[in-house]
Structure 1
Amino acid sequence: MVREEKVEAVKELEEIFKSAGTLVMAEYRGLTVSQQTQLRKDLKNAGASFSVVKMSLAKRAAENVGYKDILEYFAGPTGVTVIESDPVEAAKVLKEFSKENEAFIVKGGLMDKEPLTIEQLNVLASIDSRDVLLAKIAGGFNAPVSKLAGTLKAVLNKSGFAFKALIEKKESTGEISSESEKSEVSNEAEEEIKKEEE
């Protein structure tokens, strides 16, 4: 690579490093082309990208943008995962991929310009995804509505049983026999139920 190309490559890396919300470095020595392709595909689906970069250029770019905390990770064949959006999904992909492929070793990185350790990355990977969290929040909003519906149903059932019991009692004692008398009892039952609810 000629000098001008190197300068241009460093500038590109600087821009990538500055614009990324999260960067994760990992050793990829021993991964096959198909494994790397699968990793790239999985990361793309999670809003991230994986690139193999020349270590000397990556170090220079990181130094130029003030990311001294990640310089130690640029040793040996290292790939850079650039996460533009939600880091949780990409962290899950990296964790799962490293479990399935021993040759892929996550070293660490940066998140919001702060050092990101492997332990912190694992914590990120254990968090529910954005969609799951939104579903839980929506479920939380639905719970009071469901509870209210259940309470209303119970009140209506109780009212119905009370009404029926009152009519049966009055019929068995011979107090009512006609439909008009049943209607009067119905009104009485409604008033009794209202009193109970107060």
Structure 2
Amino acid sequence: MNKSEKAAIIEQVRAKAADASIVVVTDFKGMSVEELTALRVKIRQAGGEYYVVKNTLARIALSDTTHAVISENFKENCAIALGFSDPVAVAKAVSDFAKDSKLFAIRCGSLEGKALSQADVDALAKMPSKEQLIAQALGTMNQVPTGLVSLMANMVRPLLYALKDLESKKAA
């Protein structure tokens, strides 16, 4: 690989990492091509990308981004998973794959510049997704006016029953 190819790879990874909200460094030693392809598909479905890059090139590429805090973790065989829109979805995809595979492991991660350990990435994967959090917030916001309407209806209902009872007594 000549210098221009290396520079192109560095720029590509740097541009992707600058846009990424999460970067997860993984260990893939001994995995087959089919397993890596299945992992890439899972991560792509979660809104991310998975790259196997030489350690030196990855270190250089991440040095100018917010994810520079994990650059010292590039040793031996490793690759990076980048998440762009929903960091929880990418963390969940990587964590689930690590549970299923004996050869794949999570080393560390970076969430918008904050270093994450392997346990932190697993904890992030257990969080509800962005859509679920929005749905919970909207449900809570909708519950307040619904409860208020129900309370007002329950306050007026006994008065209506009393008036209806009084009307039936007067009619009799």
Q: Secondary structure at the match of 1:41?
A: helix
Where 1:25 maps in the other structure, the secondary structure is strand
Shift in Å at residue 65 of structure 1? 5.6
Match for residue 33 of structure 2?
Answer: 33
Q: Distance in 1 between matches of 2:96 and 2:57?
A: 29
Tell me the SS of whatever aligns to 2:37: helix
Alignment of 1:8-157 (within 5 A): 8-63=8-63, 69-157=69-157
Q: 2: distance between equivalents of 1:68 and 1:88?
A: 20
Q: Give CA deviations for 1:27-57 in whole Å, capped at 9, x if unaligned.
A: 1123232322222122112221111112232
CA shift digits 1:116-173 (9 cap, x unpaired): 2222222322222111111111111111222122223324432332123223444xxx
Identity percentage of aligned residues: 26
Q: What residue identity is the alignment partner of 1:111? A: L
After the TM superposition, list the runs of 4 or more consecutive aligned residues in structure 1 that deviate by more than 4 angstroms: 63-68
The 1:43–1:66 alpha-carbon spacing in structure 2 relative to 1, beyond 3 Å, is: closer
The amino acid that maps onto 1:11 is E
Taking structure 2 as the reference length, the TM-score comes to 0.84
Structure 1 or 2, whichever has the larger Rg, is: 1
In 2, distance between residues paired with 1:139 and 1:130?
Answer: 14
Q: Which amino acid aligns with 1:158?
A: P
Question: Which deviates more from structure 2 when the two are superposed, residues 65-74 or residues 104-113?
Answer: 65-74
Task: Quote the Cα distance in structure 1 between the aligned partners of 2:134 and 2:146.
Answer: 18
How many pairs align?
A: 172
Note the residue ranges of structure 2 that are not aligned, 5 or more in a row.
none
Find out whether 1:167 has 2:171 as its counterpart: no
Unaligned runs of 5+ residues in structure 1 are 171-175, 178-198
Could you tell which deviates more after superposition, 35-44 or 98-107?
Answer: 35-44
> Conserved in 1, the CA contact under 8 Å of 2:14 and 2:64?
yes
Distance 1:44 1:54, change over 3 A: same
User: TM (normalized to structure 1)?
Assistant: 0.74
Quote the Cα distance in structure 1 between the aligned partners of 2:98 and 2:146. 43
Over 3 Å counting, the alpha-carbon distance change for 1:19 and 1:163 in structure 2 is closer
Q: Hey, what does 1:190 align to over in structure 2?
A: none
Higher relative contact order (CA 8 A, sep 6+): 2
